């Protein structure tokens, strides 16, 4: 759907008026296109630890123009602030203010990324305070950036090194145009595992992915993005969406499976279809979901039960089938679509928010089971995404919802798809049990 306001204030007299009145001025985001370079300018790596040195060397291996010290008034494509060894709040000042001096030199669409450790790792209070402080400053900084620039963080659990494959995979995602609508988020890397793709443009080559709810909107965008990245596809949707499903399947050279995922044996049917038609099942993307909105005082059994059954109970049953089947790929990856409504809540969506919060809980509890099977499970939580559903929101409400994030605009279905494609890849094998918000740093909720 076209954002008419954003187009209007992007140039000419309307741009000057918007600036003078302090109105939102959404910038065009730097989104990924196959074959484009990772970055088109220097990247400044700030930090004095050995991990910072090793990370800078790894970025040089990606043919990036790496700086270890700022050059005044040199436009930067990215700033990477490595804080992996801080042990007290006082340790923050020198590296953070050194990076701050370069913020005015950040190019439009630039990236600021912190690399630090989680406060929950059982360290002393001073170290925990410093580590939590990084999260606070990163989220605040992300709200200060303009011109389509974003700020995100990589959290290194345990003894994961800044230049480990898992950490570098998360860093590359945040540096790239694939993370255009991901802002103010911190992604934990629980192990250093991760495979560098032989072809960064085809990281899913040879993998078979199942996508539910694939006939329209975000599901169709997921299918197209996974196909672009090399995956073989099995697309699932209800029989009523059969024509649309077939069209998307033909477009991405996949197979279509008309199926109500809420039935008890949906998992077995999906597995059998994937093995018969594609020979494997490596990636399961739970995208299918419905809304049946009502204030809780007006909620009835049909609205409540249908949302819970399709949005979360069906995923639990399908996951049980996948994790119990030894015929699947050696490292199955599961990605679910949650929602910021399940994190922050939303008026009139108690059933939907319960189901999407349930997805978050499911992912965290399933992570050890997936790891035992050699795989992983994660979720993405979209915010306001431009779809047919959001197009039906009343105009004034829609405009407010679009601007209530740091990027001052709605995301696109492809933004959700990019995050799912990354979490589906072997490069993300060090990431497990995480929920990544794709919301432009929505200003409501955590």
Strands 435-438 and 376-382: parallel
Q: For the chain, how far is it from start to end, CA to CA, in angstroms?
A: 27
Distance CA 368, CA 375 (A): 9
Answer yes or no: 352 catalytic: yes
> Long-range contacts made by residues 272-281, C-beta under 8 angstroms, separation at least 24?
273/234, 274/208, 274/210, 274/234, 275/327, 277/234, 278/208, 278/232, 278/234, 279/208, 280/207, 280/208, 280/328, 280/329, 281/208, 281/210, 281/234, 281/322, 281/328, 281/329, 281/332
Let me know how long the chain is: 446
**Computed over its alpha carbons, how large is the radius of gyration of the chain?**
22
Distance CA 165, CA 193 (A): 6
Question: Within its chain, how far is the Cα of 118 from the centroid?
Answer: 19
Non-local CB neighbours of 425 within 8 Å, separated by 6+ positions: 169, 197, 203, 204, 229, 333
Distance CA 6, CA 71 (A): 34
Tell me if 77 sits within 8 A of 39, measured CB to CB.
Answer: yes
Vertex 155 angle, CA 154 and 161, to 5°: 95
Distance CA 116, CA 103 (A): 19
Nearest 5°: phi and psi at 406?
Answer: -65, -25
Catalytic residue among 173, 174, 352, 422: 352
Give the three-state DSSP class for 115: strand
Half-sphere exposure of 382 (CA within 13 A, CB side): 26
Please identify every residue annotated as catalytic. Answer: 352
């Amino acid at each position: 759907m076209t954002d008419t306001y954003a187009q209007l204030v992007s140039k000419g007299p309307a741009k000057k008026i918007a600036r003078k009145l302090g109105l939102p001025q959404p910038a065009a985001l730097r989104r990924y296109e196959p074959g484009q370079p990772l970055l088109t300018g220097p990247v400044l790596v700030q930090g004095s630890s050995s991990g910072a040195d090793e990370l800078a060397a790894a970025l040089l291996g990606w043919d990036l123009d790496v700086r270890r010290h700022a050059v005044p008034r040199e436009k930067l494509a990215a700033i990477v602030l490595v804080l992996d060894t801080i042990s007290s709040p006082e340790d923050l000042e020198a590296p953070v203010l050194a990076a701050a001096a370069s913020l005015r030199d950040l190019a439009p669409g630039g990236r600021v990324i912190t690399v630090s450790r989680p406060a929950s790792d059982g360290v002393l209070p001073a170290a925990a305070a410093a580590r939590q402080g990084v999260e606070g400053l990163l989220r605040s900084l992300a709200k200060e950036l303009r011109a389509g620039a974003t700020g995100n963080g990589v959290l290194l659990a345990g003894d994961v090194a800044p230049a480990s494959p898992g950490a570098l995979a998360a860093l590359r995602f945040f540096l790239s145009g694939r993370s255009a609508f991901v802002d103010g988020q911190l992604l934990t890397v629980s192990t250093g595992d991760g495979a560098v793709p032989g072809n960064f443009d085809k990281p899913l080559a040879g993998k078979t992915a199942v996508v539910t709810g694939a006939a329209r909107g975000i599901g169709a965008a997921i299918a197209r993005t996974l196909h672009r990245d090399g995956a073989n596809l099995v697309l699932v949707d209800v029989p009523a969406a059969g024509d649309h499903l077939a069209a998307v399947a033909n477009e991405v050279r996949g197979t279509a499976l008309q199926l109500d995922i809420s039935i008890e044996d949906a998992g077995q049917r999906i597995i059998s279809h994937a093995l018969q038609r594609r020979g494997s099942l490596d990636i399961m993307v739970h995208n299918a979901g419905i809304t049946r909105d009502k204030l809780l005082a007006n909620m009835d059994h049909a609205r409540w039960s249908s949302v819970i059954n399709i949005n979360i109970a069906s995923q639990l049953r399908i996951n049980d089938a996948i994790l119990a089947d030894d015929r699947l790929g050696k490292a199955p990856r599961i990605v679910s679509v949650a929602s910021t409504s399940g994190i922050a809540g939303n008026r009139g969506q108690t059933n939907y928010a319960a189901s999407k919060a349930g997805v978050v809980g499911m992912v965290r509890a399933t992570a050890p089971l997936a790891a035992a099977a050699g795989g992983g499970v994660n979720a993405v939580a979209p915010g306001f995404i431009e779809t047919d559903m959001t197009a039906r929101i009343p105009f004034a409400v829609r405009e407010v919802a679009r601007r209530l994030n740091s990027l001052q605009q709605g995301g696109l279905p492809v933004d959700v798809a990019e995050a799912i494609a990354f979490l589906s890849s072997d490069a993300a094998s060090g990431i497990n049990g995480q929920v990544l918000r794709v919301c432009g740093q929505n200003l409501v909720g955590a």
